[in-house]
């Protein structure tokens, strides 16, 4: 460690450019001091230092501009541990780890710093041959989307065997035997048969297992997992995380786990590095980061999780929007969004301050000079958390039915056969409530929302009524118009739900134009400006195009577009799942605020149970086109009855390392239901608690409910 320090060249441009020898000395000293702090945790790690990144700077050339993606960041990876890098999209966490295997995009380059791995500085590598000795062999990577790493026209067995033959020079037979061994190891049943199958024949979770098998085929020392479970369902995610953990122990690898999900971090990480705007702002053990965070960003991130919110109150939310690469950063990058920022945060970049031997953070709050201010902040936060009293649950005694759904069935043609995406679903939505629809991808939850919104018409069976009148089947022009004014929808992907070629003004006015809901041009502009301010954006945004906004801002524009029609009922189709962690709370608060102010009713479609618990009055669980359970929110969490609900609840990641480590997954196998003679029915088992099962199962559920 010490030897390296001497050879260290200043990577930060500000230090290089300064002519003043005193300033230069100061900068060198600061760097030495930082190295010292990084090295302090060494004796607390299980194994020796494996990879050491020092003051890495990564720059991109984009359309003639030079952008700094990684701003002089250091990180150590020790043997046999799992290190999680947490950050939002654009924070540079992926870019940073891609430098470890020389896989930056063509327009990016390492522009300073060192990457020590086995005594060599990989930052100085220039040729592909040098990288090939490391990439895949010693450091392997697993990406978010398994299909990007698998060749769809070759069997998975051949793909893995090829890696083994290429790296170890083994014969085809040996490689095949080893591949089957590997497939067994990653939990794929019947590997001999699966060996001959194509990626298309595997489900998402199974594909990710195959990718992991490919990555560990060469016994790498470091396995970098770049959001490997983000695209997977919660139950599958929990299984894949378990697999990675057991493989890490078995093969004694180091795992660098990149994610934005703090629940996942709590589950898997020994050590955590928090990244913001191209810099690691806090580093420590998982317990330290979750129990005593120091950087304002980490603190805010943890406080804004819906698990920690009190129902009926605003969730703590981080203001503003994360910076993109185009933003000039001075001082602490988080300062503009930090309501408690100090003046110095805007002036000077904070150095590393140690908290314990294993925990450090880059924030001026830890400076001895800020001690009194820090204490006052802590006292205030403690005070605030004490005062919250949960709101009384929604009162259903006099509730009026806004929407009734009876025996809704939606069919899709696939090839020659038809397939029922939604199969005989019945439920009511009461005026003023938030009903959440929870299920895995492909369960039919979005389809139900779209069938109610009349996006699917020809293939819909059953009946939906809105305010007492039937809205399925053919409607008159007048009725359709009325529905468009009363029912609106919010979409999942803010990147896809806004027309890229239209200005914000047109996007929000679209509904107003359609039904001429304004008196004059001034009136229309005023309406658009009002709704923009209501969703927390300034009216100057009116003449901009969608690509100038971040995901969260775009989602708010989408919300404004539906609210400008003054609807009574909103279908919110996974409105927060595509958003950054730090802005989810903003959008949840906005939805809650709008619900109160405009007495809206929501059908909230989601797969993330933690947010659902915070926002909804009742929850309906859907599995493969059937509703399996529907109950008031707290009742469902306290007394789940259906085995699928139990499995789902057991898999939800919770941002607390202690509870995550002792978590027991409850598996669910649909084959446990024997519906051959005794057909299942949708029954109200106790008042307000519906469940799907046959007579025998219902009896069991009833007994369980009474117990």
Partner 1 sequence: MNLPENKLRTLQKSLEKDPALFTPAAFSLAESEKTGASNYSYWKSTLRTFFRSKSVVVLCAVVAAILVMSFLYPLFSSVDPTKVSINPLDWNHRPSLEHPFGTDGLGRDIFARAWYGCRNSFILAFCIALSDVGIGMIMGALWGYNKKLDPIMIEIYNIMTNVPSTVYLVLLAYIMNTSYLTLFISMASRGWIVEARFFRNRILSIRDAEYNIASQCLGTPMRRIATRNIIPHIISLIIMEAALCIPYSIGSEVFLGFVGVGMPVDAITLGNMVNHGRASFTLHPYQMLLPAAVLCIITIAFYFLGNKFADASDPRNHV
- What's the DSSP call for residue 309? -
Between strands 114-117 and 401-414, the pairing is: unpaired
- What's the DSSP call for residue 322? -
CA distance 53 to 44: 19
CA distance 291 to 301: 13
In angstroms, what CA-CA distances link 632 with 189, 410, 484, 495? Answer: 38, 26, 29, 33
Cβ contacts of 341 within 8 Å, gap of 6 or more: 296, 332, 334, 335
Stretch that binds partner 1, among 306-314, 386-394, 490-498, 678-686 (CB under 8 A): 490-498
Q: Which of 206, 273, 335, 600 binds partner 1 (CB under 8 A)?
A: 335
C-alpha of 441 from chain center? 15
Considering only residues 436 through 465, tell me which ones interact with partner 1, judged by CB under 8 A.
Answer: 450, 453, 455
In angstroms, what CA-CA distances link 374 with 353, 392, 533, 613, 680? Answer: 14, 35, 33, 32, 59
In angstroms, what CA-CA distances link 540 with 495, 536, 545, 611? Answer: 21, 12, 12, 32
C-alpha of 41 from chain center? 29
* DSSP three-state, residue 159: helix
Residue 498 as a binder of partner 1 (CB under 8 A): the answer is yes
Residue 504 as a binder of partner 1 (CB under 8 A): the answer is no
Q: Least distance to partner 1 from the beta carbon of 583, Å?
A: 11
Q: Which is nearer to partner 1, 231 or 652 (CB)?
A: 231
Instruction: Count the site residues for partner 1 by CB under 8 A.
Output: 81
Q: Which of 386, 501, 516, 679 binds partner 1 (CB under 8 A)?
A: 501
Q: Which is nearer to partner 1, 124 or 327 (CB)?
A: 327
Q: Which is nearer to partner 1, 62 or 681 (CB)?
A: 62
Between strands 417-430 and 460-466, the pairing is: unpaired
Stretch that binds partner 1, among 114-122, 293-301, 361-369, 610-618 (CB under 8 A): 361-369
Residue 65 as a binder of partner 1 (CB under 8 A): the answer is yes
Q: Which is nearer to partner 1, 30 or 177 (CB)?
A: 30
Q: Which of 82, 91, 492, 616 binds partner 1 (CB under 8 A)?
A: 492
Residue 124 as a binder of partner 1 (CB under 8 A): the answer is no
Stretch that binds partner 1, among 293-301, 336-344, 607-615, 639-647 (CB under 8 A): 336-344
Q: Which of 99, 149, 285, 321 binds partner 1 (CB under 8 A)?
A: 321
Q: Which of 145, 174, 340, 568 binds partner 1 (CB under 8 A)?
A: 340
CA distance 490 to 120: 51
Q: Least distance to partner 1 from the beta carbon of 318, Å?
A: 9
Q: Which of 109, 137, 467, 484 binds partner 1 (CB under 8 A)?
A: 484
Residue 341 as a binder of partner 1 (CB under 8 A): the answer is yes
> Residue 480: how many CB atoms within 10 A of its CB?
13
Q: Which is nearer to partner 1, 558 or 653 (CB)?
A: 558
Reading the block at residue 455, the tokens are 């996006």
Q: Which of 151, 203, 246, 369 binds partner 1 (CB under 8 A)?
A: 369
Rounded to 5 degrees, what angle do the CA atoms 581, 585, 586 make? Answer: 110
Stretch that binds partner 1, among 182-190, 367-375, 432-440, 465-473 (CB under 8 A): 367-375
Reading the block at residue 282, the tokens are 């806090």
Q: Which is nearer to partner 1, 556 or 623 (CB)?
A: 556
CA distance 256 to 254: 7
Between strands 139-142 and 401-414, the pairing is: unpaired
End-to-end CA distance of the chain: 62
Q: Which is nearer to partner 1, 389 or 496 (CB)?
A: 496
CA distance 292 to 452: 46
Site string for partner 1, 464-483 (x = CB under 8 A): ----------------xx--
Considering only residues 404 through 443, tell me which ones interact with partner 1, judged by CB under 8 A.
Answer: none
Considering only residues 541 through 570, tell me which ones interact with partner 1, judged by CB under 8 A.
Answer: 545, 547-550, 553, 558, 561-562, 565
Q: Least distance to partner 1 from the beta carbon of 297, Å?
A: 13
Q: Least distance to partner 1 from the beta carbon of 699, Å?
A: 43
Q: Least distance to partner 1 from the beta carbon of 120, Å?
A: 26
Considering only residues 186 through 245, tell me which ones interact with partner 1, judged by CB under 8 A.
Answer: none
Considering only residues 27 through 46, tell me which ones interact with partner 1, judged by CB under 8 A.
Answer: 29-30, 32-33, 36
Q: Which is nearer to partner 1, 298 or 321 (CB)?
A: 321
Residue 510 as a binder of partner 1 (CB under 8 A): the answer is yes
Which residues are registered as beta bridge partners of 604?
Answer: 436, 572
Q: Which is nearer to partner 1, 328 or 392 (CB)?
A: 328
Q: Least distance to partner 1 from the beta carbon of 419, Å?
A: 16
Q: Least distance to partner 1 from the beta carbon of 312, Å?
A: 24
Q: Which is nearer to partner 1, 350 or 657 (CB)?
A: 350
Contact of 51 with 138, CB cutoff 8 Å: no
Edge to edge, what strands does the sheet with 139-142 contain?
139-142, 222-226, 254-259, 82-86, 271-276, 279-285, 359-361, 353-356
Residue 104 as a binder of partner 1 (CB under 8 A): the answer is no
Q: Which is nearer to partner 1, 457 or 695 (CB)?
A: 457
Q: Which of 104, 251, 344, 666 binds partner 1 (CB under 8 A)?
A: 344
Cβ contacts of 483 within 8 Å, gap of 6 or more: 454, 466, 471, 475
> Residue 462: which of 238, 682, 618, 663 has the closest Cα?
682
Residue 506 as a binder of partner 1 (CB under 8 A): the answer is yes
Residue 582 as a binder of partner 1 (CB under 8 A): the answer is no
C-alpha of 705 from chain center? 34
Considering only residues 281 through 320, tell me which ones interact with partner 1, judged by CB under 8 A.
Answer: 319-320
CA distance 367 to 354: 10
CA distance 536 to 562: 15
Site string for partner 1, 511-540 (x = CB under 8 A): x-xxx--------------------xxx--
Which residues are registered as beta bridge partners of 408?
Answer: 425
Q: Least distance to partner 1 from the beta carbon of 414, Å?
A: 14
Radius of gyration of the chain (CA): 27
Stretch that binds partner 1, among 113-121, 127-135, 333-341, 381-389 (CB under 8 A): 333-341
CA distance 673 to 398: 36
* DSSP three-state, residue 96: helix
Q: Which of 150, 156, 342, 559 binds partner 1 (CB under 8 A)?
A: 342
Residue position matching structure tokens 């191209």: 278
Considering only residues 44 through 63, tell me which ones interact with partner 1, judged by CB under 8 A.
Answer: 61-63
Stretch that binds partner 1, among 212-220, 393-401, 426-434, 502-510 (CB under 8 A): 502-510
* DSSP three-state, residue 625: coil
Q: Which of 103, 177, 370, 525 binds partner 1 (CB under 8 A)?
A: 370
CA distance 502 to 441: 31
Q: Where are the alpha helices (DSSP H) in 196-261?
A: 204-216, 234-251
Reading the block at residue 545, the tokens are 């195009």
Q: Which of 206, 402, 489, 633 binds partner 1 (CB under 8 A)?
A: 489
């Amino acid at each position: 460690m010490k030897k390296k320090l001497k050879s260290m060249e200043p990577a930060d441009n500000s230090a290089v450019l300064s002519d003043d020898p005193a300033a230069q000395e100061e900068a060198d000293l600061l760097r030495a001091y930082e190295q010292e702090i990084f090295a302090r945790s060494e004796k607390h790690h299980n194994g020796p230092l494996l990879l050491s990144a020092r003051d890495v700077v990564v720059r991109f050339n984009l359309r003639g501009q030079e952008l700094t993606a990684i701003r002089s960041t250091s990180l150590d990876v020790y043997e046999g541990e799992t290190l999680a890098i947490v950050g939002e999209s654009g924070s540079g966490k992926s870019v940073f780890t891609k430098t470890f295997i020389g896989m930056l995009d063509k327009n990016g380059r390492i522009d300073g710093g060192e990457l020590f791995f086995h005594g060599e500085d990989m930052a100085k590598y220039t040729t592909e041959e040098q990288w090939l000795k490391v990439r895949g062999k010693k450091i392997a990577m697993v990406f978010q989307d398994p299909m990007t790493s698998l060749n769809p026209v070759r069997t998975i067995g051949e793909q893995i065997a090829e890696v083994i033959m290429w790296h170890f020079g083994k014969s085809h037979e040996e490689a095949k035997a080893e591949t089957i061994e590997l497939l067994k190891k990653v939990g794929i049943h019947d590997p001999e048969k699966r060996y001959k199958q194509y990626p298309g024949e595997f489900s998402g979770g199974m594909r990710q297992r195959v990718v992991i098998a490919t990555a560990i085929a060469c016994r790498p020392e470091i396995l970098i997992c770049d959001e490997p479970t983000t695209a997977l369902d919660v139950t599958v995610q929990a299984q894949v995380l378990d697999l990675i953990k057991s493989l890490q122990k078995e093969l004694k690898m180091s795992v660098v786990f990149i994610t934005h999900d703090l629940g996942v971090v709590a589950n898997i990480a020994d050590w955590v590095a928090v990244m913001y705007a191209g810099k690691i702002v806090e580093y420590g053990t998982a317990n330290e980061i979750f129990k005593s965070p120091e950087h304002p960003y980490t603190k805010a991130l943890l406080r804004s999780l819906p698990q920690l919110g009190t129902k009926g109150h605003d969730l703590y939310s981080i203001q503003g929007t994360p910076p993109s690469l185009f933003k000039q950063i001075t001082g602490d990058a988080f300062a503009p969004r930090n309501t408690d920022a100090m003046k110095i945060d805007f002036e000077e970049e904070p150095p590393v301050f140690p908290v314990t031997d294993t925990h450090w953070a880059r924030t001026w709050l830890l400076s001895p000079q800020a001690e009194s201010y820090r204490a006052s902040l802590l006292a205030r936060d403690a005070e605030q958390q004490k005062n919250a009293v949960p709101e009384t649950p929604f009162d259903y005694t006099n509730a009026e039915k806004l929407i009734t759904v009876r025996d809704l069935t939606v069919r899709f043609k696939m090839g020659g056969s038809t397939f029922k995406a939604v199969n005989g679903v019945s439920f009511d939505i009461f005026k003023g409530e938030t009903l959440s629809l929870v299920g895995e991808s492909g369960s039919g939850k979005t389809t139900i929302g779209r069938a109610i919104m009349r996006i699917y018409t020809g293939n819909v069976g059953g009946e939906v009524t809105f305010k007492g009148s039937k809205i399925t089947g053919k409607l008159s022009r007048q009725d359709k118009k009325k529905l468009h004014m009363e029912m609106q929808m919010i979409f999942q992907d803010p990147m896809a739900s806004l027309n890229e070629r239209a200005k914000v003004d047109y996007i929000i006015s679209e509904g107003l134009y359609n039904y001429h809901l304004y008196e004059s041009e001034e009136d229309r502009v005023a309406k658009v400006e009002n709704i923009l301010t209501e969703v927390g954006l300034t009216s100057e945004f009116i003449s901009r195009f969608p690509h100038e906004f971040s995901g969260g801002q775009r989602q708010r524009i989408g919300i404004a577009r539906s609210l400008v029609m003054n609807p009574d009922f909103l279908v919110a189709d996974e409105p927060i799942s595509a958003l950054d962690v730090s802005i989810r709370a903003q959008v949840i608060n906005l939805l809650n605020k709008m619900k109160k102010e405009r007495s809206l009713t929501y059908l909230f479609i989601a797969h993330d149970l933690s947010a659902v618990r915070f926002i909804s009055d009742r929850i309906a669980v859907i599995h493969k086109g059937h509703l399996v359970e529907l109950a008031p929110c707290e009742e469902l969490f306290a007394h789940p009855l259906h085995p699928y609900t139990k499995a789902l609840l057991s898999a939800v990641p919770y941002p607390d390392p202690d509870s995550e480590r002792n978590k027991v997954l409850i598996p669910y196998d649909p084959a446990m239901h024997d519906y051959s003679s005794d057909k299942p029915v949708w029954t109200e088992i106790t008042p307000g608690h519906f469940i799907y099962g046959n007579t025998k199962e219902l009896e069991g559920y009833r007994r369980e409910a009474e117990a």
